[in-house]
């Protein structure tokens, strides 16, 4: 939910508008551009607000409720702002048996978050557990924003955090 009282600035102007138009050419139906359009909104704003959903709905001739149903189905669209570094630790069984829980603990400790899903007071970090990242042979994989870091162990965590800007 948006707590920002400044008026909403549309995302799809200028270059973003051109990007969406190019995307629309790929599909015979406008609706198919929904996931790509939501990605543009998230890349631009860091998250997808209700106004963002409404803007996408209008652009693709869908209802806001419909778009909400899609946004909430997929885990990767943030429905509220998150920390500058969104840290996702895979803890599904193949990684769990290789010590993923210790990696999670280390991130929670060293970022100062202490609780999953809660952004650190300085706004820099949010740590969550995610399901299988598809890099099971490189346990434990950790995705920070769009980058996947392989073979993370608890002892490497401080170094990884130090390397983030």
Partner 1 sequence: MGYPHKSHPRETAVLSKHFGEPEARSLDGWKKRGGYRALEQALAGTPQAIVDIVKASGLRGRGGAGFPTGMKWSFMKPGDGKPHYLCCNADESEPGTFKDREIMRWTPHALVEGCAIGAYAIGAETAYIYIRGEFDEPIRRMEEAVAEAYAAGILGKNAMGSGKRVDVHVHKGAGAYICGEETALMESLEGKRGNPRIKPPFPAVSGLFAQPTTINNVETLAAVPHILTNGAEWYKAMSLSNPKSTGTKLFSVCGNVARPGNYEIVMGFPFKDFLYDLCGGPQAGRKFKAIIPGGASVPIQTMEEAEATLMDYEGFVAQGTMLGSGGVIVFDDQQSMPRMIARLARFFSHESCGQCTQCREGTAWTTKILERIVAGQGTYEDLDTLLELADNMTGKTICVLSDSCAAPVVSGLQKFRHEFEALITGKRSSSIAMPPSRTAVAAGASA
Partner 2 sequence: MVNLTIEGRPVSVPAGTSILEAAKQVGVLIPHYCYHPGLPVAGVCRMCLVDVEKSPKLMPSCATAVAEGQVVHVHNDKSLDARKGVLELLLINHPLDCPICDQSGECELQDYTFQEGRADSRYREPKRFNPVEDFGGDVMYVPNRCILCTRCVRFMDDVHHDAVLAVAERGDRAVIATAPDAGLTQPWAGNVVDLCPVGALLSKDFLNKARAWELDRSASVCTGCSQGCNTTVEIRDNAVVRIKPRGNEDVNAFFICDEGRLGYRPLNRQDRLTVPMVAGHVGEWGAAVSAGAAALTGKKAHVVVNPSASNETFFLAARLASKTGGAVKFAVPTGPEAPLPGVEDLALRADRAANGTGAEILGARRESDPYAGLSAAHVLVLVDIDPATVPSAATSAASSVVYLGSVAPAALAKVSAALPVSTIVESEGTLTNLRGRVQRFFQAKGSPGQARAAWFALADLLIALGEQADYLMASQVFDAMAKATPAFAGMSYDSLGLKGATAAGTTAGAAR
Q: In what order do the strands lie in the sheet with 85-90?
A: 125-130, 85-90, 142-144, 147-149
CA distance 19 to 41: 11
Choice from 41, 52, 91, 107 touching partner 1 (CB under 8 A): 91
CB atoms inside a 10 Å sphere around CB 123: 12
CA distance 70 to 88: 21
User: Which residues between 102 and 161 bind partner 1 (CB under 8 A)?
Assistant: 130-139, 143, 146-148
* Least Cβ distance, residue 74 to partner 2 (angstroms): 8
Give the residues lining the site for partner 2 (CB under 8 A).
50, 53-54, 62-69, 72-73
Choice from 8, 10, 19, 36 touching partner 1 (CB under 8 A): 36
> Would you say 65 or 162 has its CB closer to partner 2?
65
* Least Cβ distance, residue 127 to partner 2 (angstroms): 21
């Amino acid at each position: 939910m948006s707590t920002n009282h400044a008026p909403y600035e549309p995302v799809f102007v200028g270059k973003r508008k051109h990007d969406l138009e190019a995307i629309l050419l790929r599909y015979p139906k406008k609706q198919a551009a929904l996931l790509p359009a939501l990605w543009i909104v998230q890349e631009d704003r860091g998250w997808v607000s209700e106004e963002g959903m409404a803007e996408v709905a209008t652009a693709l001739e869908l209802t806001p409720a419909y778009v909400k149903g899609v946004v909430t189905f997929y885990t990767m669209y943030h429905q509220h702002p998150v920390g500058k570094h969104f840290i996702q630790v895979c803890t599904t069984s193949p990684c769990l048996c290789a010590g993923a829980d210790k990696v999670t603990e280390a991130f929670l400790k060293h970022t100062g978050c202490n609780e999953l899903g809660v952004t650190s007071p300085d706004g820099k970090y949010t740590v969550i557990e995610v399901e299988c990242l598809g890099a099971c042979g490189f346990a434990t994989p950790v995705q920070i924003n769009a980058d996947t870091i392989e073979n993370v162990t608890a002892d490497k965590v401080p170094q990884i955090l130090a390397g983030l800007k």
